């Protein structure tokens, strides 16, 4: 996702469930804003104010961190023995594996837990028990520059072959990045997963292991190397050096014919006057059957023993109105079925509907595995080498698989 806000929310109020006296709940959350005007602190301040009106004696104090800092801040709190009551962050499995988290069923009512979008709820599970509560979600679509496509006389691709032919036509018209392929270390795991899924593969073929060097995955990266990168269709910056943020900026500057993007790119491009279209990711023989989904997580730590108070607060956080407010403010997809239904039918949300339609077809990162953080970091650093002139897709994917197998066996032990 775009960014992370760490917020320390202090919930002090009359105890729930028979407790007496004030209770302090600390919450650390992630900042999805791109300016002070729409920082997540503003969102939480308004939500907390509304919560306090109906909960006399409750006080909430908010502190904000960026996505660059929030996961580290929470880890430092936990390591110091001062875990927050709740953390809205990028991952949860390490804390679940260390038995530091409440199960979702312990801090959510049955109606709230049952309202989560199934794919997101499933991705929040470790060994079939949900610990990660989805808080924000997104999917990816292929963005294309309508003006550049019109000039090149091409239409939106539905297959890899059409994508490659379109990139050739764009290059012939002098487009700087016919297809932008960001395999640099910032977010290579996302671009990689999108392509692997479109080729019928993915990161995990089974519930117990990784499948990074599968036949399908090797074929996908061999195609990328030979048909896009090798033919000079990915622009002046080598894919292993191109980061997602730079690719998005180039698209907003009108220099990119097509690239994979999430909803925040709509606003960036529109602000710069770029006319764009969005279609599902092309696959080998037609639109990809599975797209990539992403989620960020709410977690509840057991250390302070405030399950009842956390449940009451999260019931409010996950109300249909609040989920919709958050999703609309930050161009994200709702994590609940009730809010998704409203968004799918509301005219004001028409621009997000193509992403929403992809969510039931999406697969998320294997975040329930404690090995994923290490495997993801390895992919970010190495996958770009697979498409360099001297790179070997089979060799690089084989190295990644070897590391993943080692890390997975260690984390399972």
Rounded CA-CA distance 123/104 in Å is 13
Q: Are 261 and 248 in contact (CB under 8 A)?
A: yes
Task: Indicate the burial class of 273 (C-beta count within 10 angstroms; 0-12, 13-18, 19 or more).
Answer: exposed
SS (H, E, C) the chain: CCCCCCCCCCCECECCCCCCCECCCCEECCCCCCCHHHCHHHHHHHHHHHHHHHCCCCECCCCCCCHHHHHHHHHHHHHCCCCCCEEEECCCHHHHHCCCECCHHHHCCHHHHHCECHHHHHHCEECCEECCEEEEEEECEEEEEHHHHHHHCCCCCCEHHHHHHHHHHHHHCCCCEEECCCCCCCCHHHHHHHHHHHCCCCCCCCCCCCCCCCHHHHHHHHHHHHHHHCCCCCCCCCHHHCCHHHHHHHHHCCCEEEEEECCHHHHHHHHCCCCEEEECCEECCCECCCEEEEEEEEEEECCCCCHHHHHHHHHHHCCHHHHHHHHHHHCCECCEHHHHHHHHHCHHHHHHHHHHHHHHHEEECCCCCCCHHHHHHHHHHHHHHHHCCCCCHHHHHHHHHHHHHHHHHHHHC
When pLDDT is cut at 50, 70 and 90, the band that residue 206 belongs to is confident
Please give the Cα distance from 334 to 319 (Å, whole number). 11
pLDDT of residue 48 exceeding 90, the answer is no
pLDDT of residue 18: 37
Give just the sign of the alpha carbon dihedral 38, 95, 131, 104.
negative
**For residues 297 and 28, is the Cβ–Cβ distance under 8 A?**
no
Domains of the chain: 27-138+294-364 (3.40.190.10), 141-280+371-412 (3.40.190.10)
Q: Averaged over 223-250, what is the pLDDT? A: 97
Q: Mean of the per-residue pLDDT values for the chain?
A: 90
Question: What percentage of the chain has pLDDT greater than the value 90?
Answer: 77
Tell me the C-alpha distance between 209 and 193, whole Å. Answer: 16
pLDDT band at residue 36 using 50, 70 and 90 as cut-offs? confident
CA-to-CA distance for 267 and 90, rounded, in angstroms?
23
Residues 202 and 145: beta-carbon distance below 8 Å: no
Q: Tell me what pLDDT residue 99 has.
A: 96
CB contact set of 84 (below 8 Å; sequence gap of 6+): 8, 26, 27, 28, 74, 77, 301
Mean pLDDT, range 115-136, rounded to an integer: 94
Closest C-alpha to 137, from 273, 370, 296: 296
Lowest model confidence (mean pLDDT) among 23-27, 87-91, 196-200, 340-344: 23-27
Selected residue with higher pLDDT from 308 and 184: 184
- Pick the closest to residue 237 from 185, 178, 177 (CA basis): 177
pLDDT in tens, 347-402: 999 999 999 999 988 999 999 998 998 999 999 999 999 999 999 999 999 999 99
Q: How confident is the model at residue 323 (pLDDT cuts 50, 70, 90)?
A: very high
Does residue 6 have a pLDDT over 50? no
Q: Looking at residue 3, what is its pLDDT?
A: 37
Residue 118 main-chain phi, psi, to 5 deg: -55, -45
Cβ pair 216, 200 in contact under 8 A: yes
Band (pLDDT 50/70/90 cuts) for residue 177 is: very high
Strand partners, 259: 143
pLDDT category of residue 33 using cuts at 50, 70 and 90: confident
Q: Which residues contact 91 (CB under 8 A, 6 or more apart)?
A: 71, 297, 367, 372, 373
Q: What is the mean pLDDT of residues 194-219?
A: 93
pLDDT digits (tens, 9 = 90+) for 278-315: 999 999 999 999 999 999 999 999 999 889 888 988 99
Say yes or no to pLDDT of 52 above 90. no
Residue 139, pLDDT > 50, answer: yes
How many Å apart are CA 19 and CA 22, to the nearest integer?
A: 9
Burial environment of residue 266 by CB neighbours within 10 A (0 to 12, 13 to 18, 19 or more)? buried
State the pLDDT confidence band at 60, using cuts at 50, 70 and 90.
low
Q: Is the pLDDT of residue 173 over 80?
A: yes
For residues 265, 90, 48 and 133, what is the CA-based torsion angle, rounded to 10 degrees? 110
Q: Percent of the chain at pLDDT above 70?
A: 93
Q: Is the pLDDT of residue 16 over 70?
A: no
The whole-number average pLDDT for the span 109-114 is: 96
Whether residue 159 contacts residue 280, with contact meaning beta carbons closer than 8 Å, is answered with no
Give me the sign of the Cα torsion angle 43, 104, 109, 16: negative
Query: In the prediction, which pLDDT does 2 show?
Result: 39
> For residue 15, is pLDDT > 70?
no
The pLDDT value recorded for residue 21 is 55
φ, ψ (nearest 5 deg) of residue 410: -70, -40
């Amino acid at each position: 996702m775009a960014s992370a806000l760490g917020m320390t929310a202090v919930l002090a109020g009359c105890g729930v469930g028979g407790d007496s006296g004030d209770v302090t709940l600390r919450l650390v959350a992630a900042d999805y804003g791109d300016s002070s005007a729409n920082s997540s602190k503003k969102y939480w301040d308004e939500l907390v104010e509304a919560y306090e009106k109906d909960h006399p004696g409750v006080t909430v104090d908010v502190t904000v961190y960026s996505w660059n800092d929030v996961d580290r801040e929470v880890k430092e709190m936990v390591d110091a023995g001062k875990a927050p009551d709740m953390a809205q962050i990028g991952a949860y499995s390490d804390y679940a594996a260390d038995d530091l988290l409440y199960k979702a069923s312990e801090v959510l009512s049955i109606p709230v837990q049952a309202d989560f979008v199934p794919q997101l709820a499933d991705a929040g599970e470790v060994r079939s028990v949900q610990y990660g509560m989805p808080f924000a979600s997104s999917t990816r679509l292929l963005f294309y520059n309508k003006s550049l496509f019109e000039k090149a006389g091409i239409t939106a691709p539905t297959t890899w072959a059409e994508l490659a032919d379109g990139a050739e036509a764009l290059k012939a018209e002098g487009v700087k990045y016919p297809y932008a392929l960001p395999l640099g270390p910032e977010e290579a795991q996302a671009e990689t997963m999108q392509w692997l899924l479109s080729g019928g593969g993915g990161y995990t073929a089974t519930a117990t292991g990784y499948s990074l060097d599968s036949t399908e995955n090797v074929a996908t990266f061999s195609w990328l190397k030979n048909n896009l990168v090798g033919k000079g269709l990915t622009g002046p910056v080598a894919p292993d050096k191109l980061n997602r943020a730079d690719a998005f900026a180039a698209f907003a500057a009108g220099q990119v014919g097509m690239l994979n993007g999430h909803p925040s790119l709509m606003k960036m491009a529109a602000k710069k006057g770029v006319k764009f279209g969005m279609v599902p990711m092309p696959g080998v023989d037609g639109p990809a059957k599975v797209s990539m989904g992403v989620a960020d997580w709410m977690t509840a730590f057991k250390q302070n023993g405030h399950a009842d108070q956390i449940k009451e607060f999260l019931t409010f956080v996950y109300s249909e109105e609040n989920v919709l407010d958050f999703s609309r403010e930050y161009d994200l997809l709702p994590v609940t079925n009730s809010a998704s239904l409203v968004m799918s039918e509301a005219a004001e949300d028409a621009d997000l509907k193509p992403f929403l339609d992809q969510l039931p077809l999406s697969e998320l990162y294997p975040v329930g595995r404690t090995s994923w953080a290490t495997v993801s970091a390895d992919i970010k650093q190495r996958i770009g080498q697979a498409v360099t002139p001297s790179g070997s897709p089979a060799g690089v994917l084989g190295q990644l698989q070897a590391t993943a197998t080692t890390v997975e066996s260690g984390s399972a032990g």
